[in-house]
Amino acid sequence: MSRPSKRMVRLSLPSSSAPSLVGLKQPSILRRLVSYLDWPSFHAILSTSRDFRSLFLDPTLRNSILARFVPGFDTFTFRDSAVSQESLLSIDLHQLHLFLISQRVPVQTYPTHALRFMFSLVPYVDKSESLVALTQAHSRFVLLLQSLVYTSQNLVFPSEAQHVLPPILSEKRYVPSTPTSSNSQSSLSRSSTPTPPTSNSSPSPPPSRLRLALSSLSVSSPYDFIHALSPARAPVLRTYVPCSAPHLHPHIIVRCEEQLIDADLWSYLSVGDIVANLGHVPLLDEPEKPTNASDKIKRSSLHRHKSSPPPTNWLLFNGTILVPFSPQPGVPIPVPDALTLPSPFYYTHILPRFANPIFLLRRMPRFSTVIPSSNSDGTTYEETVEPAEGDIPMRLVYLPVRVPTTHGGGIALVRRYKWLARVFVNAPREGELELGQGWQGEWIVEGEGTKEGREALIDWLLGRGRAQGRVEGKGKGREQDRTEVEWEWELVRERCQNDRMWFKLLTVRTVGEEGSETMGADREDVVGF
């Protein structure tokens, strides 16, 4: 008797993840879900299967995820379509995971481990490699947000009020007066109260999402990721190369460059970008000794502000390589053409509180002597005729300045005569040299209150004389060297306003020569600013 054959029945159970996966592929559902989850919970969901991880491959879904977990990214994803990916850096799930870990690692962890790494008998190689990966992920997302900022239609230069220092205490201030008509020349008048910023007749545009995002996020350190959201602040990228030299040696700088190259970030750097080596631990075996009383005053005034970042771990990309950058008083910004930077306030977040940025400029942008007016169609009317020497409004004023002293905390307030000129820098036309948007607007240029100081301002504004590289006594052939002279300007932050920039002429010098001809303010005037 034969046994009945058993029929093998295979039960096909429905996959529990299939309905969930279909639902998560809807951007609205995905955004709703991630709004209730933190990253560890959502990362656990994505790690359950390959299908869930594939959600990150879709640009629209990826932007929804980044908008939830990357600070400030949601300001660029409010449109229904996905953000264009052609010109952006490649981002994968692992890099996002490393970036979010880096945001939870305190900055002091890096130099602490570097110190342990350099003096330990058994170096923590694995830990060092992990910290390198965290810095690379952080730098990748900084460059990602920077590329979004400059490709967004909502490009907004935030107000500079928070980076303007309090004014010098004085009974009366000298402020430019607003002309009553376009035919009348602007003049500098004395006023006992500050004047409101210059504004056009058209109403101010409504605040954009980017401006609201910047105002809602607090910034406590120059290393904060939120600086990547501002087009007027230099992004701070991170590297990790343990070292203890008082200054960054060339081989350390090369290793920092190699880390950016290995992460495929080098080609995305822009001129003026800042790179911080978080593995730099300076050993103060021999403290610096002031050479004179003036240097001692400068250092003592800066040491009172403990919030200043260490100046020796900064590197700056000049378009070709990384160069050391020490944000200290009297040190110019080492960029080939500072006017191409987005704003003169580009480095105020890494400068000491009472230090003003100094720029070496070789050209004066195109300007007008009257306020550009707005037409009914929204365009701006500008002067078509270049101003002559007699058209430039200048005035000799008696301004309070700070000078170093051995009494009263190292700073004394005195009054000196200064020449002031007021101009309005216009946006570059087609075919003209590049000019950052933050440089456009009202300029007050200050020179020494002497005949030579006035002539120096006129030469600079009109692009003649020393500004063209003409050196007296060197022969006629020297006139063709039109880029051999650098003008050293200081941005006086305490005299700036939201729509006004105040520049003080320090020196005029020939490129390649150690000496410089002082045509503007005395060097001692800038101490403590």
Tell whether the model's pLDDT for residue 385 goes beyond 80. no
* pLDDT bucket at 41, cuts 50 / 70 / 90: very high
* pLDDT bucket at 5, cuts 50 / 70 / 90: low
Which residue did the predictor score with more confidence, 449 or 17?
A: 449
Tell whether the model's pLDDT for residue 193 goes beyond 70. no
The 3-state DSSP class for residue 360 equals strand
Tell whether the model's pLDDT for residue 352 goes beyond 60. yes
How far apart (Å, rounded) are the C-alpha atoms in residues 300 and 305?
Answer: 9
| Cβ atoms of residues 172 and 398 within 8 Å | no
* pLDDT bucket at 411, cuts 50 / 70 / 90: confident
Tell whether the model's pLDDT for residue 214 goes beyond 90. no
What does DSSP assign to residue 164? Answer: S
Q: Which helix (H) or strand (E) holds 500?
A: strand 500-510
- The pLDDT value recorded for residue 220 is 63
Give the list of residues 6+ apart from residue 47 with CB closer than 8 angstroms, or none: 53
Tell whether the model's pLDDT for residue 285 goes beyond 90. no
Q: CA of 218: how far to CAs of 20, 161, 233, in Å?
A: 37, 15, 15
Model confidence pLDDT, tens digit, residues 125-179: 888 999 999 999 999 999 999 888 877 654 555 555 445 554 443 333 334 444 4
- The pLDDT value recorded for residue 489 is 96
Mean pLDDT within 198-211: 43
Most confident of 37-46, 179-188, 226-235, 466-475: 37-46
Tell whether the model's pLDDT for residue 425 goes beyond 50. yes
Model confidence pLDDT, tens digit, residues 51-87: 888 888 888 889 889 999 999 888 875 443 444 555 5
Structure-block tokens of residue 382: 């500008």
Model confidence pLDDT, tens digit, residues 21-38: 677 788 888 888 889 999
Q: Which amino acid is at 290?
A: P
The 3-state DSSP class for residue 325 equals coil
Model confidence pLDDT, tens digit, residues 235-259: 999 999 998 876 778 999 999 999 9
Percent of the chain's residues with pLDDT above 90: 34
Structure-block tokens of residue 151: 């490709």
What is 402-460 written as a DSSP string?
EEE-SSGGGEEEEEEEEEEEEEEEPPP-TTSPP--GGG-EEEEEEEESSHHHHHHHHHH
Q: Which of 35-39, 88-92, 140-144, 416-420 has the lowest mean pLDDT?
A: 88-92
Tell whether the model's pLDDT for residue 369 goes beyond 80. yes
What does DSSP assign to residue 89? Answer: P
- The pLDDT value recorded for residue 226 is 84
How far apart (Å, rounded) are the C-alpha atoms in residues 51 and 70?
Answer: 23
Q: Which of 128-137, 200-209, 212-221 has the lowest mean pLDDT?
A: 200-209
How far apart (Å, rounded) are the C-alpha atoms in residues 468 and 442?
Answer: 24
How far apart (Å, rounded) are the C-alpha atoms in residues 509 and 485?
Answer: 6
Burial track 158-185 (b if 16+ CB lie within 10 A, e otherwise): bbbeebbbeeeeeeebbbbeebeeeeee
Give the list of residues 6+ apart from residue 380 with CB closer than 8 angstroms, or none: 372, 373, 374, 427
Percent of the chain's residues with pLDDT above 70: 64
Confidence (pTM)? 0.74
| Cβ atoms of residues 280 and 507 within 8 Å | no
* pLDDT bucket at 402, cuts 50 / 70 / 90: confident
Tell whether the model's pLDDT for residue 207 goes beyond 50. no
- The pLDDT value recorded for residue 301 is 42
Mean confidence (pLDDT) of the chain: 74
Tell whether the model's pLDDT for residue 390 goes beyond 60. yes
Model confidence pLDDT, tens digit, residues 303-343: 433 344 444 679 999 999 999 988 877 789 999 899 999 99
